[in-house]
Chain A
């Protein structure tokens, strides 16, 4: 078996590249550590000294506001120095290669690279080339993975539902293009969720998705029945052009989360969304702002989860 590129020789987390392939114990360690960091984020002084003197480079080859900002806040609350690089308007446009960019930053004494890239696998490539004391965290690569989003979703589910082993979780929408869905499915199955459902039109579900251990529904009403957790995915407008969908209105009618569809889930179901939301397309405002919605707590928990990931990898 090939060794896991995320783990060091002692089996500890060295880089966070993907939830896929991480043992249950490490997922639980991250969630437990994040729980302690939630306590820190609720204090007057929201800072701990763990990463004092360390430099975190936010390398964003693809635009992002929320993810980049929450990584920045997380690093600052760990007392690290944070350098934000928006590469789309930087050296890449002048022809510098990805590894040359990283080598230059490494020469500036980087400790952690937080990488978002439109190509699947880019953070893996970087992780293979960095020095032993440097760590890579994947902040979203192509259609492949977005592990910290998956982890914050898992944290949110555990926060509200406590026990993974009795849950029915539905993931609704454009699973095909979603790195969030992929990461979350791996996390949910690893933590023992007995029923993970994916709901969406055939054209937006990956072929053979059942192999990930999920049940497939094309009828949203049937799929939502008795769910404890409903995770809505963003409908990416650019997908409309690819003839995958007739129109946003048509999509919303069948796969948008409205109050009456949500009523089919359990009475205490929670509704999640990784953001940014298209109100009136995949989710109605009454639901997004309603009592079942935990969309804003997800953002807050995201900071604690990213603090946990950075402090665990930097210590290993």
Chain B
């Protein structure tokens, strides 16, 4: 059984790592669902001036033709002008890189940020696109056929978990 890192500690660690680079132009966008939970944590810890943005990339996925539209997409809300912003794009787990590509495509339909940095709680192997994260909580080895996911308990506590990969 793989021992998974403590998500709460990783969150603290990421906040400490990000704090020195925060400026008045730093904006944060979390990706539904796990990335949004993480961003909802990091945003107040970092005291960002710009309000938090939350994004669902359902309309930008590259597997729409094969899998159709995801049920119950959330509404993307970015309550600030991304043009000229130093954006922190937050997700829970970096795996294939496809979600991040879709998120960048969507972000550019809101404006032209000055920069985008990727913040993830955990990264695993299996990249299918030339994408890497600038701020990583932990690197995790994930056994074949397993999926690494962030969960939020009823108490609000964030927990990393392994589960069987969904049949595609």
Contacts and interface: CB of A to CB of B under 8 A. Distances in A.
Interface of A: 12, 29, 32-33, 35-40, 43-45, 47-50, 311-312, 315-316
A157 to B, nearest CB: 18
B110 A45 contact: yes
B71 A44 contact: no
B109 A38 contact: no
B105 interface: yes
Contacts of A33: 69, 72-73
25 contacts: A12-B68, A29-B72, A32-B72, A35-B75, A36-B59, A36-B74, A36-B75, A37-B59, A39-B76, A40-B59, A40-B76, A43-B109, A44-B111, A47-B109, A48-B60, A48-B106, A48-B109, A49-B60, A50-B59, A311-B69, A312-B68, A312-B69, A315-B67, A315-B68, A315-B69
A75 to B, nearest CB: 14
B69 A50 contact: yes
**Interface-central residue, B59, B75, B105, by most chain A CB under 10 Å:** B59
A315 B58 CA distance: 12
A115 B71 CA distance: 26
B124 to A, nearest CB: 27
Interface residues of B, number: 21
Interface in B96-131: 105-106, 109-111
B86 interface: no
Q: Which 6 A-B pairs have the closest CB atoms?
A: A315-B68, A48-B59, A45-B109, A39-B75, A315-B69, A36-B73
Interface of B: 56, 58-60, 64-65, 67-69, 71-77, 105-106, 109-111
A36 B56 contact: yes
A316 B75 contact: no
A135 to B, nearest CB: 12
Nearest to B72: A32
Nearest to A39: B75
A85 B163 CA distance: 51
Contacts of B59: 36-37, 40, 48-50, 311
A50 B110 contact: no
A36 B58 contact: yes
**Interface-central residue, A38, A47, A48, by most chain B CB under 10 Å:** A48
Given A36-B73, A50-B59, A312-B69, 18 more contacts: A12-B68, A29-B71, A35-B75, A36-B74, A36-B75, A37-B59, A38-B75, A39-B77, A40-B76, A44-B109, A44-B110, A45-B109, A47-B109, A49-B59, A50-B64, A312-B68, A315-B64, A315-B65
Contacts of B56: 36
A312 B69 CA distance: 6
A20 to B, nearest CB: 22
B104 to A, nearest CB: 13
B75 to A, nearest CB: 4
Contact of B110 (A36, A43, A48, A312): A43
A33 B69 CA distance: 9
Nearest to A35: B75
B117 to A, nearest CB: 23
